[in-house]
A and B are shown apart, each in its own frame.
Chain A
Amino acid sequence: EDKVVQSPLSLVVHEGDTVTLNCSYEVTNFRSLLWYKQEKKAPTFLFMLTSSGIEKKSGRLSSILDKKELFSILNITATQTGDSAVYLCAVEAVKYGNKLVFGAGTILRVKS
Chain B
Amino acid sequence: NAGVTQTPKFQVLKTGQSMTLQCAQDMNHEYMSWYRQDPGMGLRLIHYSVGAGITDQGEVPNGYNVSRSTTEDFPLRLLSAAPSQTSVYFCASSLQGDGDTQYFGPGTRLTVL
Contacts and interface: CB of A to CB of B under 8 A. Distances in A.
Interface of A: 4, 6, 9, 31-32, 34, 41-45, 48, 88, 90, 92, 96-105
Which of the four size classes fits the interface of chain B?
A: 20 to 34
B97 A97 contact: yes
A105 B42 contact: yes
B26 interface: no
Nearest to B41: A104
B59 A96 contact: yes
B113 interface: no
Interface in B13-43: 31, 33, 35, 40-43
A43 B91 CA distance: 11
Contacts of B98: 92, 98
A4 B90 CA distance: 19
Contacts of A104: 40-42
**Interface hub of A31, A103, A104 (most chain B Cβ within 10 A):** A104
A99 B99 CA distance: 7
B54 to A, nearest CB: 9
A9 B59 CA distance: 22
Interface stretch (B63-71, B78-86, B102-110): B102-110
Given A45-B100, A48-B99, A101 B45 contact: yes
A103 B43 CA distance: 7
A97 B48 CA distance: 8
19 contacts: A31-B99, A32-B99, A41-B107, A42-B4, A42-B104, A42-B107, A45-B99, A45-B100, A88-B43, A92-B98, A92-B99, A96-B58, A97-B48, A97-B56, A98-B97, A99-B45, A101-B45, A101-B59, A105-B42
